[in-house]
Amino acid sequence: MFRKKTTTKLLQWIIGLALFVLFSGIAYGKEPPVVIAARGDDPLTEKQTYLQLIQAEQAWNTVKANASLVIAIVDTGVDLNHPDLQPNLVPGVNLLNSKKLPQDDNGHGTNVAGVLAAVGNNDKGITGIMWSAQIMPVKALEADGSGGEAKLAEGIRYAVDHGAKIVVLSLGINKYSALMSETVKYAEEQDVLLVAATGNEGNSVKYPAAYSTVLAVGGMTADGTADKRSNKGLEIDLVAPWDVFTTALGGDYEYKDGTSMAAPQVAAVAALAWSQHPGLKAYQIRQLLRQTAEDLGESGWDASTGYGLLRADRAVTEAPLVDMYEPNNRKDQAKSISISKMVTASFTGGSDLDWFYVDAPYDGTAELMFELQAGQQITVQHTDAAGTFTSVAADPGTPIQLKVSKGRSYVLLQLANRNVKTEVSYRLTTSFTIYRDQFEDNDRQFKAYVLPSQSLSITGTFHQEDDQDWFEFPVEQSGSLRIELSTDTARIDPVLFVQKQGEKAYTVDDNEDGVSETLQLPKIFPGSYYIRVNNVKEYSFPVNGEYTLTIHYDALHMDPNEPNGRSYQATTVSLGTPYYGLVDKAEDLDWYQFVLTEESLVQVDVTDIPDGTSMYLTMYDGTVKLLYSTSGAEALQIAQQLPVGTYYVKLNANVPFDRSFYKFVVDGKPIVGGFTDIRGHWAQDAVLALTQKQIVNGYDNFTFRPDQTITRAEATAILGRAFKLTQAQTISYTDVRTAHWAYTWIARAASKGIVNGYPDQTFAPDQPVSRMEMTSMIARSMNLTGEPRGTVPFTDVDDSYWGSGILKQMKAGGWISGYDNGAYRPDQQATRAEFVTMLTKIMP
């Protein structure tokens, strides 16, 4: 007996030692072994493939539960007796019937609850992302899954007021609501995190996900791409798997899909992350989930997947960053952010620069509002997609508005006080309002915009509350009319109203949100037809989306320009004014005449050419001498630099047409010094002076773009030509290859010490030049090293500023001047006009 015990103990000791050596690797200097991720052992977990996609099992090695944080599910209720949910439920409420419990009569809320927090390792069904939790069911939706904004808002407020820290909203509507907006704001003020689904229609993000402080969750397929049915757009934050296996009514389980199933995954991970960082605020948890998401597709935030795929493992193990966007000190390091969300970042000090870019889906206005410590101010420098530059100061809590063009805009942020030495955190809330369309003001019938009497398609917007657009369509000849109203967003439920003056009106609103409406009038007679376009009354707020009004008018037309079949009968046209015509006979010729009173860049366009037709365009001078000819089937266009004089254009076609008009436009832009955009500009003389010396040049389209910011490459090339640099040194910047257009100029300027690169071996040729960099480059070209003595001549620069000596010397020499308020704005981006003007002052 003793011997058996002794042998057993010895064997156990040997095995234990071997296992210790094997798994620790200490004795042989090996790496520690990979730890197997925690796994739920519930019988149906193998069906939960989404857990692997978000790395939930790896997260469970760190944390798998939070029994002190309440998560509310505002939905159809929850199956209160489901054995895989019941232990994790806390009392909730039935807002539809206060006498009843929030028992699910649809199944949707139960589906959501299972993803969120089905009890883990209880030998039943599945494993929720949270094994143990406090889930509060709030029934705000009917048995068919429908509900109104009032009940939804009530449900959120109930959850907030009864201790919920996270609210899951796997639901949505297309309409902006003042009530919901205030409710969302209330939740944020109470430090409650709202997590909402973007929707499943392949359209715009639904509300409440679209509000700036709500974490908006889209759906991702198993192959790592956004599901085509998942709603996308400006407001999306991140994505989670679209397909799940989860709890169902009656204690059952089922496969479900959609962003409704993605949202609870994010809410659960947020709860686990909050367990690790209980001191964080709701906005910091939002930012942590963005920070730790797995980037998909285009680098950084994008409108399809937001910041990327939810990563549970990273969310619970990575330290929250005060500024997840660093490094972004240069334009080529600019980080993408949504133009309609709240984000957080920081300045390490007064010299820190934060570059961001936003992609505007339309022309419009971007509003920026900053929250930061009192007494600080932020300088915002904005370069629009069209190249327009603006600079404005932003005070905490006071919104600023920036005009943006469709496309990519860059924003440079910096503390106004450059002397700050400590880190300053800030919250930035962005919002976007679409442009005011060209037909405004036409909100009343008597203000109706008069359309040409022809088939056409126009695009408009609802840019303001209760916006409605009236149009007058004059019918000159009998025919038929088909009118279609379509939209690019489900936030518009289009309504079409048509009435011939003094006759019966037609109102068409047959379809749902985002679906076209059509009216067919097979027989119409001469007179004025009034068309009203509007969103349904309930959707009366401004909408970031466009509608398209298409009118098909089939009538026998008459050419309003006839007779113009000979050069001496030519129709005289005004520049920039459209003219409409027909080629209604095989031998028909249409002659037009225009006059230039100064040298101009002339562009002639012929559009709306009927299908199957080729038109021919011939241009002549005042003596009817041939200058240019071309042909085309869809459109014609020529652009010519022409001197003062009279000119003719002849049009004809291969086949006659009389059912629709072509459109003919001649436009001319006066040319000064070879450019169409410097006439009357304050820098005109400087541009002309340096152009004549072949020091500066413009672009291929006869523009100089004086107000566009100047890049490091452009500035270097101009200085090289101005100072006739010829000697070059070998340069090895990673972003300036020998094939780069400015390579030679950069090499020459570098040999003279005029320019240099960055510590990371880049030159950043496309980086905008600041006013101080511009001044310094020009000073070095003049071999000026700066004057340490004397008083700094500008109010926003002191002796500690790196360029103060150069500014003193350049000001004393009369080569630079500041603004009327005594400031120099050294960190503001310099424009091409500013650069050539300063350079002109020093040129002999």
45-317 CATH, one of 3.40.50.200, 1.20.120.330, 3.30.2350.10, 3.30.1950.10: 3.40.50.200
CA distances from 834 to 88, 325, 671, 778 (A): 66, 31, 21, 12
Instruction: Inform me whether the pLDDT recorded for 476 exceeds 60.
Output: yes
Pick the CATH number of 445-547 from 3.20.20.80, 3.40.190.10, 2.60.120.380, 3.50.50.60: 2.60.120.380
* Average pLDDT of the residues in 21-31: 36
Note the pLDDT of residue 558. 80
Which has the higher per-residue pLDDT, 530 or 700? 530
Distance between CA atoms of 811 and 444, rounded to whole angstroms?
57
Q: What is the mean pLDDT of residues 29-34?
A: 38
As a whole-number percent, the residues of the chain with pLDDT over 70 amount to 95
pLDDT 10s digits, 755-789 = 999 999 999 999 999 999 999 999 999 999 888 88
Q: What is the pLDDT of residue 353?
A: 96
Give yes or no for residue 226 having a pLDDT over 50.
yes
pLDDT at position 263 over 90: yes
- Buried b or exposed e, range 636-646, using 16+ CB within 10 angstroms: bebeeebeeee
Q: Say which CATH architecture domain 331-434 belongs to.
A: Sandwich (2.60)
Count of other CB atoms within 10 angstroms of residue 466: 12
Listed in sequence order, the residues at least 6 apart from 351 whose beta carbon sits closer than 8 Å to its beta carbon are 414, 418
Q: Is the predicted pLDDT of residue 22 greater than 50, yes or no?
A: no
Which DSSP state fits 297? S
CA diameter of the chain:
130
Distance of alpha carbon 196 from alpha carbon 809, whole angstroms: 59
Q: Is 108 a catalytic residue?
A: yes
Q: Where are the alpha helices (DSSP H) in 671-770?
A: 684-692, 712-722, 743-751
What are the sequence ranges of the domains in the chain? 1-33, 45-317, 331-434, 445-547, 567-670, 684-842
- The CA distance from 374 to 811, in Å, is 34
For residue 7, pLDDT beyond 50: no
Fold matches, 45-317 and 445-547? no
Strands of 373-503, DSSP E: 378-383, 389-394, 400-404, 407-415, 424-434, 449-450, 456-461, 468-475, 479-487, 494-500
Element (H, E) at 669: strand 657-670
Hey, what's the torsion of the CAs at 834, 685, 700, 737, to 10 degrees?
-40
Of 77, 64, 228, give the one whose Cα is nearest residue 142. 77
Q: Which amino acid is at 523?
A: K
- Residue 32 pLDDT greater than 60, yes or no: no
**Tally of CA atoms within 13 A in the half-sphere of 67 that contains its CB:** 6
Average pLDDT, the chain: 92
The catalytically annotated residue of 42, 75, 79, 513 is: 75
pLDDT digits (tens, 9 = 90+) for 492-512: 999 999 999 989 999 999 999
pLDDT confidence tier of residue 24, bands split at 50, 70 and 90 = very low
Could you read off the pLDDT of 606-661 as tens digits, one per residue? Answer: 999 999 999 999 999 999 999 999 999 989 999 999 999 999 999 999 999 887 89
Contact 584, 559 (CB under 8 A): yes
Which of 28-32, 335-339, 703-707 is least confident? 28-32
Catalytic residue among 79, 84, 108, 431: 108
Q: Output the pLDDT for position 8.
A: 41
The verdict on domain 567-670 having CATH code 3.40.50.300 is no
Q: What is the CA radius of gyration of the chain?
A: 34
* Catalytic residue from among 170, 260, 275, 660: 260
Query: Each residue of 375-423: pLDDT tens digit?
Result: 899 999 999 998 899 999 999 999 999 999 999 999 999 999 999 999 9
Q: Is pLDDT of 14 > 60?
A: no
Beta strands per DSSP E along 61-192: 65-75, 93-94, 132-139, 164-169
Question: What pLDDT does 375 receive?
Answer: 87
Continuous segment of H or E residues that includes residue 553? strand 546-555
CB under 8 Å to 408, separation ≥6 — which residues?
Answer: 357, 358, 359, 360, 385
Mean pLDDT over residues 219-223, rounded? 95
